[in-house]
Amino acid sequence: MGQDVRIEDLDMYLFARGTHYEIYEKMGAHITEEKGESGTYFAVWAPNAKSVSVVGDFNDWKPGADPMDMVGQSGIWDRFIPGIGMGSLYKYAVEAADGKIVYKADPYGNASQMRPESASVVTDLNRYQWKDGAWLDKRLKGKDVQAGQPMSIYEVHLGSWKKDYAYPDGFIGYRRLADELADYVDYMGYTHVELMGIAEHPLDASWGYQVTGYYCPTSRYGTPEDFMYFVDHMHEKGIGVILDWVPAHFPKDDFGLGRFDGTPLYEHPDPRRGEHPDWGTYCFNYARNEVSNFLVANALFWIEKFHIDGLRVDAVASMLYLDYGRKAGEWLPNKDGGNENYDAIEFLKHLNSIVKKREPGAMVIAEESTAWPKVTGAPEDGGLGFSFKWNMGWMHDFLEYMQCDPFFRKYHQNELTFSFSYAYSEKYVLVLSHDEVVHLKKSMIEKMPGTLPEKYGNLRVGYGLMIMHPGKKLLFMGQDFAQHREWSEERSLDWNLLDDYEQHKQIHRYMRDLLHFYRQYSALYELDDSPEGFVWINGADADHNMLTFCRMTKSGKNCLLCHFNFSPVVYDKFRSGVPCPGVYTEVFNSNAKEYGGDGRVNKRPITADKMNWDYKDYSIGYHLGPFGVCIFKFDYKEPPKPAAKRLSRKDVRGLCGRYKKIG
């Protein structure tokens, strides 16, 4: 109460330059005092409007009842209205140059009505008492985000994770979700939750990816304070929070950002750059400083005001390429005649540089579906500066392979191994996201070939590879207990499967143990960004649908030998090469009874034999079950080198003669 929220000369200067990173503290609606009177200060950017006024339930929504004044030549209009406080509904009545009036929600508003209503709501974000100071202190010291640390992400759509129809539309509130979701994530062993779009959006079926309230947590699940509790409670449980964030495009709803002051303001004025024909949305004009400022400040807003630990940037490829989703003649080349969007590139570099400077422990993750170079490279070295990139190539190849009948998999071995050839070209997150289990793509279990037991076996070996493969991990909700139905935002996950069917309990237990195993063994994350953390044993055994490799540690202690059998064939005494002599102890086996296997595992430690196999000097023999995952721990010791043979004088003369003859 009483803080200085009025737009000043410095605010206008920084905003016009695109570098006012806390512009949200001035724009929007802020409860304050002026001349001893409490009320709300409103500020909105609409440079081409003929007039702007605040309308709401306090003035019968009458345009002109509370007119705003432009502050200098900034294009920003403001007005202090006494007596207006928490919970008041409002919009801006924006009069265009042609006299047409449009009622707009506040672009910087922090709360809104429950859809389908669309008014902004006056609130105060400074009242919540945070308890995660220790978490933030630790995060602030994160010079290299998640370097050498495990990261397994549970992707969640809050509206359908669990429904309770005692609430409107079945939407459980942020606070109850916080308690129940945190307990589940902690139990399963995930390190982070990633929330599908929770910025305010009018259409449930958009899943939050067509945003009308960039500075506003959706009212579907409660108030901004309720969402603060959600994040705070996750931190209390040791769980990081990532938000999906959409700076690529926005919808054309009349009350949203589109044609905000009667002109293309937030969107690019040329439809060849300003609209997505496939999506029916507007594209941001990154060349305009005030628009870039709106987005960069928004990213910081979620990180600094709501203590979010990371943003997953949606549809990055659509930002980078001017011809993305457009046919010939529907797009405008850059000044050099190419399809690269120079303005978007600079925006992303700016965004990532500022986040890293102000919040070095926060992540910015790119959903970038092409081979754009250096997505996670440093901006000063020509990169975009993201913390991580979704590995979409791995996802496509992996799913193509897994959907093949095992009889034909030998013809697709490259789909299984290709990702290892570029695993260290970027900092990757391996993803099996919501996009892969909707629109008739089938759930993960239904993608698997064969009989029902074979489907579960395939899923176990597939998940096993994902966890052992270099890179961070992301799995969409419902797939960790093998939900059969595709995901729909209209209904809850099928939690009853865990009560009624043993197979679902087994895959759920398997996934939980895998996630805890991942966090237990540093070989799976310590050298995630370095080729030194990986050693091939055999990636070419296509005839048997096999894959064998090692994950290494810095110290050489507790390294892991990982073997995968993508066939239904059982091997009583399979032999595999190993990188060094020593004892190999099985620490994980998907064939355990509790996971649905027959229980034949390798209980006794195995001493490596001096027997050449897989082009290695040493090897071990062990039982390998159908669709089996066998993981052995070992300590790496440099294999002994053959003793040098002492040459006789006759040998030396012979060698010299040979070299002379060759010469």
Which residues are part of the catalytic machinery?
Answer: 314, 367
Handedness of CA 455, 456, 461, 465 (dihedral sign): positive
Q: Are 363 and 309 in contact (CB under 8 A)?
A: yes
How is residue 59 written in tokens?
């003035």
Rounded to 5 degrees, what are φ and ψ at 601? Answer: -125, 175
Helix (H, G, I), strand (E, B) or coil at 635: coil
Residues 6+ apart with CB under 8 A from 286: 292, 319, 341, 343, 344, 346, 347
For residue 565, give the nearest of 409, 345, 379, 372 by alpha carbon: 409
**Amino acid occupying residue 153:** I
- Determine the Cα–Cα distance for residues 87 and 438; give it in Å rounded to an integer: 37
- Interior/surface letters 627-663, b for 16+ CB within 10 angstroms, e for the rest: bbbbbbbbebeeeeeeeeeeeeeeeeeeeeeeeeeee
Residues of 187-206 as b/e, b for ≥16 C-beta within 10 angstroms? ebbbbbbbbbbbbbbbebeb
* Residue 335 in tokens: 């000044």
Residue whose token pair is 């850059």: 334
Tally the residues of the chain.
663
Closest to 220 measured CA to CA, from 232, 234, 203? 203
CB 200 within 8 A of CB 217: yes
Q: How large is the C-alpha radius of gyration of the chain?
A: 29
Closest C-alpha to 630, from 592, 660, 659, 657: 592
Looking at residue 597, its amino acid is G
